[in-house]
Structure 1
């Protein structure tokens, strides 16, 4: 009976690990350093040797912490976006804060476009100190998700004493496993920003039709310009 229960738990963990997410093709994601104080058992602790990991019940992928799981991470309540944590920000008035689409995301905004055009979507990710891969690897990965457009533009700036890296790319968007593995879309654009905070990297990625992002280009710049260190 015990063996059957363990097999069932292992199978459930395997199914969690098969779900697609935006960071499915990201560089290795490293969990935040463990606290020296004893705490709750980590997923998989206490299982027999070589037992399949059961994963974090709050995460969409085995072995990857859910967004905001690290100490000091901001509130995932849409009403509180940008109001707490290591980085603060002010979203443009036209952007609608909504609940994150999955546990990998720390935050999410719907970004309106011109009449008759699909809206864009800005997603926010945070995986703790050292998590989510490096700056260059992620900016290159985002740019590589688009093809057939102008060469991607990258920039590094200092915003309120915080280093921020940005990328601007357009073309046919094909994120592979990201966004649920949907079909590639023509005439898309990505505006991305990675902020270096005292608690690690924060990832901001706006994706949508070229017309929608063109209308929101100045708003995105104002959004990035609002970044500042929090508590």
Structure 2
């Protein structure tokens, strides 16, 4: 009986050590999967799989290529903007983003919250996205059905102005990265409240 108890204790300790090791490796792996970027005044925690690339527009401070689901041909990017004291007001930007989607079939939700870097508005839109193609002055667009866009206006603390984050993609790709997008600037969905319009 004493020998059996000893064997059970040994088995328990080995099992506990095994799971501790797994959790320790998982935590270390998770930490390695996030990279911190300081872009002017904003600090972003970006998944390592989102690759930073040279901005394709002079208006962008930074952009990151986001991995897409298999078979997805839509170019998915996280785009970061800051216009100093400009950029328009809250309502004007929300309307501009929504108008990038065709009115028919468009659905959107707007929430507001607070994160360590400041207060923010979070817009989530689905529908047909009229993606800009070619030089901006040509104003050409390509209709992308079953699209989804996450967009944020982050009002930085310390009178550092507004930062704008925008991530358009297909609904299939975006649904898997909503949490990563929120975490990138420190948002908490559970503490957000709906904005009446």
TM-score range with shorter-chain normalisation? 0.5 to 0.7
Q: Does residue 86 in structure 1 map to residue 44 in structure 2?
A: no
Task: Summarize the alignment of residues 126-145 of structure 1 with structure 2, pairs less than 5 Å apart.
Answer: 126-129=82-85, 131-145=86-100
Which segments of 5 or more consecutive residues in structure 1 lack a partner in the other structure? 1-79
Report the equivalent of 1:186. 145
Name the SS for the 1:146 alignment partner. Answer: coil
**Per-residue deviation, 1:124:** 1.0
Structure 2 Cα separation of the partners of residues 176 and 114 of structure 1? 22
Task: Summarize the alignment of residues 24-103 of structure 1 with structure 2, pairs less than 5 Å apart.
Answer: 82-103=37-58
TM-score (normalised: structure 2): 0.67
Q: Does residue 204 in structure 1 map to residue 165 in structure 2?
A: yes
Contact 1:190–1:208 (8 Å) recurs in 2: yes
Q: Which whole-Å deviations, capped at 9, do the CAs of 1:16-71 have from their partners, x for residues lacking one?
A: xxxxxxxxxxxxxxxxxxxxxxxxxxxxxxxxxxxxxxxxxxxxxxxxxxxxxxxx
**Per-residue deviation, 1:82:** 2.9
Name the SS for the 1:91 alignment partner. Answer: strand
Q: Which whole-Å deviations, capped at 9, do the CAs of 1:109-148 have from their partners, x for residues lacking one?
A: 111111111341111111112x110112101211222233
Structure 2 Cα separation of the partners of residues 124 and 188 of structure 1? 19
Structure 2 Cα separation of the partners of residues 85 and 104 of structure 1? 14
Distance 1:156 1:110, change over 3 A: same
Could you say which structure has the larger radius of gyration?
2
Contact 1:90–1:226 (8 Å) recurs in 2: no
Number of residue equivalences = 147
Task: Summarize the alignment of residues 111-126 of structure 1 with structure 2, pairs less than 5 Å apart.
Answer: 111-118=66-73, 119-126=75-82
As a proportion of its length, which structure holds more helix?
Answer: 2
TM-score (normalised: structure 1): 0.57
Which segments of 5 or more consecutive residues in structure 2 lack a partner in the other structure? 1-34, 189-197
